[in-house]
Amino acid sequence: MDRFMIQSPWGDARVEFFKRTPDDVGLPLELFKVRLKVRPPGDELSVVSWIYGGTGDGGPASSGSDDAGPASMFVLMAARGRWGFEEFSWESFGGGLTLRGSSDRTGRVAIRVGLRSVQAEGDWSVAATVAVKSEQLDEIAARAIDFFGRAG
């Protein structure tokens, strides 16, 4: 899979993962690109950045190592999404991308996406929430595995 996108069904935000390096999901994740696109009323914001492979384990208060980037976080969210769950988080090596997923018992899921510069020149950060329905979590998890691969 060359792209993996999470789109809010309300059309106001999306996050897209693409240009995985290496292409082979059987190999450890090194780099990928992320595009965050937000459409507040009357405006549009789009930012793209290269991201180094992950350091989070996908669980609450993530720490540790995960060869498959944020895929394990999405899998855990899908497994617990129908009944609400504590916050799950994942952060890339160097902190260029932070993902935080939370849910409530009504089926509303919020995926908070934070992107920031990791290069010495320039200093910027962008954050937005991509709201999805809990019914989307199984498909999101499957597509995350197809793009990032499985840890281990």
Beta bridge partners of 18: 3, 33
At 95, which CATH number? 2.30.31
Amino acid letter at 89?
A: S
Whole-number Å distance between alpha carbons of 102 and 111: 7
Question: 58 lies in which domain range?
Answer: 3-148
In which element (H, E) is residue 137 found?
helix 137-148
Domain count, the chain: 1
Closest CA to 9 of 107, 141, 83, 89: 107
Can you give the pTM of this predicted structure?
0.86
Q: Quick: pLDDT tens for 1-38.
A: 689 999 998 878 999 999 999 999 888 888 999 999 99
> How many other CB atoms are there within 10 angstroms of residue 110's CB atom?
15
Torsion, CA 62, CA 65, CA 53, CA 137, rounded to 10 = -50
